[in-house]
């Protein structure tokens, strides 16, 4: 015949052991989730680095094109074109829209 206090202690131990195993399973699931998230983060970082490299290449190409354009057109011509464009912008913003002009 077993001691009731001993039986209660064994029952408590069994419950705590089951609880411990449940927590271990939860911890393992969280570690796997972290591992997956870390992988996703690493992939995102690689994609950002690739995008930055492409952006840098595009910037270098545009810089070369801009330098070629500056050599092709003298600075006086470029500034004349800029002022002509500004004048056109100013004229178009000061005129009322066509629908309002006819009424």
Contact 93, 86 (CB under 8 A): no
pLDDT confidence of residue 51: 94
**Would you place residue 7 in the very low, low, confident or very high pLDDT band (cuts 50, 70, 90)?**
very high
Mean per-residue pLDDT, 4-28: 96
Residue spans per domain, the chain: 30-87
**Averaged pLDDT score across all residues of the chain:** 82
**In degrees rounded to 5, what are phi and psi of residue 3?**
-75, 130
pLDDT confidence of residue 100: 47
pLDDT confidence of residue 69: 72
């Amino acid at each position: 015949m077993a001691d009731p206090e001993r039986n209660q202690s064994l029952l408590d131990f069994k419950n705590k052991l089951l609880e411990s195993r449940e927590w271990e399973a939860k911890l393992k699931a969280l570690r796997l989730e972290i591992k997956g998230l870390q992988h996703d983060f690493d992939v995102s970082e690689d994609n950002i680095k690739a995008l930055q490299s492409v952006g840098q290449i595009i910037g270098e190409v545009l810089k070369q094109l801009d330098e070629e354009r500056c050599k092709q057109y003298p600075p006086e011509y470029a500034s004349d074109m800029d002022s002509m464009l500004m004048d056109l912008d100013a004229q178009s913003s000061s005129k009322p829209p066509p629908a309002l002009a006819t009424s």
